[in-house]
Chain A
Amino acid sequence: MTDKKDFVDIRHAQKSYGNLEVLKDISLTVERGQIVAIIGPSGSGKSTLLRAINDLDPLTKGEIWLDGVQVNKKLPHRQYEKHINEMRQQIGMVFQHFNLFPHMTARDNVSMAPKMLKGLSKEAADKLAEEQLDKVGMLERIDYYPSQLSGGQKQRVAIARALAMHPKLMLFDEATSALDPELVDEVNQVMKKLAEEDMTMIIVTHEMDFAASVCDRVLFMDQGVVVEEGPPEVLFKNPSKARTREFLGKHLGATK
């Protein structure tokens, strides 16, 4: 619809809770197929920004555009609900705490939304669930309940669940932060695979190594603003701002 440059277009995003400004006039664009990591200390607003993209945490001011359509359009309640539900079908999201539906098997977690929202038959939805779970290496656990899976397995199912809606954009909100260290890699592998398939991804993460190896761009946020951004090799090796250096000094030291 639009040229690929501003596939995701965030314009003057502002958010405040009372007097507390969490996002201070952030503007950024993401190209189709690009993978962007957002790093920063906790409380910097990075998760809030990510959750604003699908309007889970609505902005106080500013616009979010995806592929030429404004996500957070001002509409009367009913029309807005219809609009946002359509937009959200195009935006996959993966949470820190997985948020799998505990009363459904992996299969149903993945096939529920396509069945319900896209009118897929049971057979078609089953096939879709099998494909998506296979893609994340979880096919043999298809009939397991979330409580029977490890953290890494849960997160892979959660990724499959998001992918089953065939989203244009994937948002990852600290997808590996709640995992035991030895389970991080299996999730990272899945994310890498998605990156190779040219999925557009915005990733909030604490893992600098992963960001460095997968992302096209890294944004460093602090106190509600984007302090600095650039390709990972520049931002990690040669940051221009003192605040970025300070943050990376602590974190790169800690992860190595």
Chain B
Amino acid sequence: MDIDLMLKVYPFFLEAAGLTILLSILTAILGLFCGILGVAARLSRFAFIRFLGAAYVSVFRGTPALIQLFILYFGGPQIGIQLDAFEAGVIGLGVNAGAYMTETIRGAIISIDKGQREAARTLGLSNWQAMYKIILPQAARLMVRPLGVNLNMLIKATALVAAISVIELTYTAQRYIGSTYKPFEMFLLAGVLYMIIIYVVGRGVTWLDRKVQIT
């Protein structure tokens, strides 16, 4: 193993890891936004909107994220959607992550005992008041860990955008292999950096989960 080479190139990998982190953050924000919309749709009182929510989830969870990215980035221009690779990466991954988050958030909401909603409605709270004052504060505490899992998956999924040539960590590793012919060292370096990112995020999630529990 060529340690010297790894030490020489790692600053470039760090820079690429920065882009991976930025991608992850933007994807997570968009994903959360889509997830909230998805849940609102899935819990709507209108059957058609519920159907749209369910369709969103099954389409985006039912096909490979890579295919979704390819359709958006390579197929998009054909139907008038011009995005650069980074934009396509964020949007593609974000909308995909949103489908998973929809189910995570919905799972937490429907796991709250129906007596909670009944008690709130009985006091005279509207459906929406019951939701944000009673159901969501309890569901939010249950969501932290599973959303942490979504976040973990999403960070790893950012490696896919290497396939549409976003110069993030995985793409950088591939590029350095082209000039060094050392795939073991290059992928190992990328892998270690992914693991550090995910470890830090995982600790953050655990901390947050502890913090929000009811005493």
**Interface of A toward B, CB cutoff 8 Å:** 54, 56, 77, 81, 85-86, 88-89, 91-93, 95, 97, 99-103, 112-113, 116-117, 145, 147, 158, 161-162, 165
Are the CB atoms of A101 and B134 closer together than 8 Å? yes
Q: How far is the CA of A95 from the CA of B118 in the complex (A)?
A: 9
B112's nearest neighbour on chain A, judged by CB, is A102
A93's nearest neighbour on chain B, judged by CB, is B122
Instruction: Select which of A81, A100, A165 is within 8 A of B126 by beta carbon.
Output: A81
The answer to the question of B121 belonging to the interface, with a C-beta cut-off of 8 Å to chain A, is yes
What's the minimum C-beta distance from B119 to chain A, rounded to whole angstroms? 4
What's the minimum C-beta distance from B49 to chain A, rounded to whole angstroms? 14
Q: How far is the CA of A88 from the CA of B126 in the complex (A)?
A: 10
Q: How far is the CA of A81 from the CA of B129 in the complex (A)?
A: 12
In chain B, residues 103-146, which have Cβ atoms closer than 8 Å to a Cβ of chain A? Answer: 113, 115-116, 118-127, 129, 133-134, 137-138, 141
A117 contacts across to B, CB distance below 8 A: 123-125
Q: How far is the CA of A89 from the CA of B122 in the complex (A)?
A: 7
What's the minimum C-beta distance from B129 to chain A, rounded to whole angstroms? 6
Main secondary structure of the interface of B (DSSP, over half): helix
**Interface of B toward A, CB cutoff 8 Å:** 45, 113, 115-116, 118-127, 129, 133-134, 137-138, 141, 214-215
A100 contacts across to B, CB distance below 8 A: 119
Are the CB atoms of B214 and A88 closer together than 8 Å? no
A88's nearest neighbour on chain B, judged by CB, is B124
B120 contacts across to A, CB distance below 8 A: 101
Instruction: Select which of A77, A97, A113 is within 8 A of B123 by beta carbon.
Output: A113
Are the CB atoms of A95 and B138 closer together than 8 Å? no
Are the CB atoms of A95 and B115 closer together than 8 Å? yes
Are the CB atoms of B137 and A103 closer together than 8 Å? yes
A118's nearest neighbour on chain B, judged by CB, is B124
Nearest first, the 6 A-B pairs at minimum CB distance are A89-B124, A99-B119, A99-B115, A113-B123, A93-B122, A88-B124
A99 contacts across to B, CB distance below 8 A: 113, 115-116, 118-119
Q: How far is the CA of A67 from the CA of B22 in the complex (A)?
A: 61
Are the CB atoms of A113 and B125 closer together than 8 Å? yes
Are the CB atoms of A54 and B122 closer together than 8 Å? yes
Q: List 14 A-B contacts (CB under 8 A).
A: A81-B126, A81-B127, A88-B122, A89-B123, A91-B122, A92-B122, A97-B115, A99-B115, A99-B116, A103-B137, A103-B138, A112-B133, A116-B125, A116-B133
B113 contacts across to A, CB distance below 8 A: 99
Instruction: Select which of A101, A113, A147 is within 8 A of B116 by beta carbon.
Output: A101
Q: How far is the CA of A113 from the CA of B125 in the complex (A)?
A: 7
B214's nearest neighbour on chain A, judged by CB, is A103
A82's nearest neighbour on chain B, judged by CB, is B126
A112 contacts across to B, CB distance below 8 A: 123, 133
A85 contacts across to B, CB distance below 8 A: 124-126
Known: A102-B138, A103-B214, A112-B133. A165 touches B123 (CB 8 A): yes
B127 contacts across to A, CB distance below 8 A: 81
Q: How far is the CA of A112 from the CA of B137 in the complex (A)?
A: 14
B133 contacts across to A, CB distance below 8 A: 112, 116
Are the CB atoms of A145 and B126 closer together than 8 Å? no
Instruction: Select which of A56, A81, A89, A147 is within 8 A of B118 by beta carbon.
Output: A56
A93 contacts across to B, CB distance below 8 A: 119, 122
Given A77-B45, A145-B215, list of 20 further CB < 8 A pairs? A81-B126, A85-B124, A88-B124, A89-B123, A91-B122, A93-B119, A95-B115, A95-B119, A99-B116, A101-B116, A101-B134, A103-B137, A103-B141, A103-B214, A112-B133, A113-B123, A113-B125, A158-B119, A162-B122, A162-B123
Are the CB atoms of A56 and B116 closer together than 8 Å? no
What's the minimum C-beta distance from A106 to chain B, rounded to whole angstroms? 13
A51's nearest neighbour on chain B, judged by CB, is B118
Q: How far is the CA of A95 from the CA of B124 in the complex (A)?
A: 15
